[in-house]
Amino acid sequence: MGPGVRGDSVSDNSGRTAHNARVWNYWLGGKDHYPIDEQVGNTVTSMYPSIGEVARADRDFLRRAVEYLAVEAGVRQFLDIGTGLPTADNTHQVAQRVADDARVVYVDNDPTVLTHARALLTSSPEGATSYLDADARDPEKILRAAADTLDLDRPVAVMMLGILNFVPDTATARSVVRTLLDALPSGSHLALTHPTLELGGEGNAEAMAFWNKNATPPITARSRDEIASFFAGWELVEPGLVSCARWRATTTTDGRLPQEVAQFGAVARKP
Ligand SMILES: C[S@@+](CC[C@H](N)C(=O)[O-])C[C@H]1O[C@@H](n2cnc3c(N)ncnc32)[C@H](O)[C@@H]1O
């Protein structure tokens, strides 16, 4: 049965609404979504045509950030919050290509991600992966459970890619980040991506309003200054807070950086 408009929001005949993890999977070209996700994903794309590029640029950022963290920063432990559905180059695969003893804890609160979590539990024998069904707004629970897999007395890279935008209250989002980072030692890192209405993303406002009426969880964009505040007191790794498409990106043959997308990305180190 196909999706349709019921009441004042979009749902399918089972009352199912679109979920971010599945729509993100749709934009990335995956197969783990329902027709309702496709319908909402297509409407958002019609309102904000570069959303697919944002999703792909975000995943490319993930690969470059994890490579940086594993190769240049020597990090061997990763806490990936708001993991999303398994796709190509999940965090442990990128990290374990560099260091087969890398350990990764994945965290998401979407039931579909939980169903597919087995595909994330494919660690090398030397390393480890685990999956935690938890809400990012409960950092104490996340830290308690992560300690079963990670040594929290040693540096950890906290990955928060496309997740704080689902914590609409900025003070709450800051407090989540602070609680996580305060619990970790010097040499730990934060890798973050976040949508913005800057960087040419003005057209995203209407699409986000549509999303918030028709899909879940509710999303918010933030300004450069708001996103920079998540890194306060930490050392931003070069090139700092930039469009995630350009963070340590390879230049094209004519020496240009890739086209910007309206999603900031940065990596910072705890001094
Ligand atoms: C945009 S996707 C990003 C996935 C992946 N990090 C990436 O960059 O490709 C956001 C993910 O965050 C998850 N998420 C949203 N709100 C959450 C919350 N409060 N707690 C845990 N996960 C959440 C969604 O289920 C979804 O899988």
The answer on pLDDT for 155 being more than 90 is yes
Nearest Cα residue to 187 out of 94, 81, 62, 75: 75
pLDDT at 131: 97
Q: What pLDDT shows up at residue 14?
A: 74
Instruction: Read off the pTM.
Output: 0.95
Write the pLDDT tens digit of every residue in 18-47.
999 999 999 999 999 999 999 999 999 999
Is the C-beta atom of 84 inside 6 A of ligand 1?
A: yes
Ligand 1 atom closest to residue 137's alpha carbon, by position in its atom list: 19
8 A C-beta contact, residue 251 and residue 53? no
Confidence tier at 156 by pLDDT (50, 70, 90)? very high
Q: What is the pLDDT, as a whole number, of residue 136?
A: 98
Decide if 27 is inside a domain. no
pLDDT tens string 166-221:
999 999 999 999 999 999 999 999 999 999 999 999 989 999 999 999 999 999 99
Q: What is the pLDDT of residue 1?
A: 35
The answer to the question of residue 8 being in a domain is no
Q: Which atom of ligand 1 is nearest to the CA of 87?
A: 9
139-146 helix and 170-182 helix, angle to the nearest 10 degrees: 30
Question: d(Cα 81, Cα 79) in Å, to the nearest integer?
Answer: 6
* Protein residue with its CA nearest to atom 11 in ligand 1: 82
Q: What pLDDT is stored for residue 43 in this prediction?
A: 97
Given a cut of 80, whether residue 9 has pLDDT beyond it is: no
* 126 part of a folded domain: yes
Quick check: 117 pLDDT over 70?
yes
Is residue 22 in contact with ligand 1, taking CB distance under 6 Å?
Answer: no
CA-closest residue to ligand 1 atom 13: 82
Q: What Å distances lie between residue 215 and 119, 142, 205, 253, CA to CA? A: 25, 25, 15, 40
Q: Dig out the tokens for 73 from the structure.
A: 């920063």
Residue 189 lies in a domain: yes
CA of 254 to the centre of ligand 1 (A): 35
Confidence (pLDDT) at 144: 98
Q: Residue 183 maps to which CATH number?
A: 3.40.50.150
Number of domains into which the chain is organized: 1
User: 13 lies in a domain?
Assistant: no
Q: Is residue 36 part of a domain?
A: no
Q: Identify whether 191 is part of a domain.
A: yes
- Structural domain contains residue 40: no
Is the C-beta atom of 86 inside 6 A of ligand 1? Answer: no
Domain extent at residue 101: 51-269
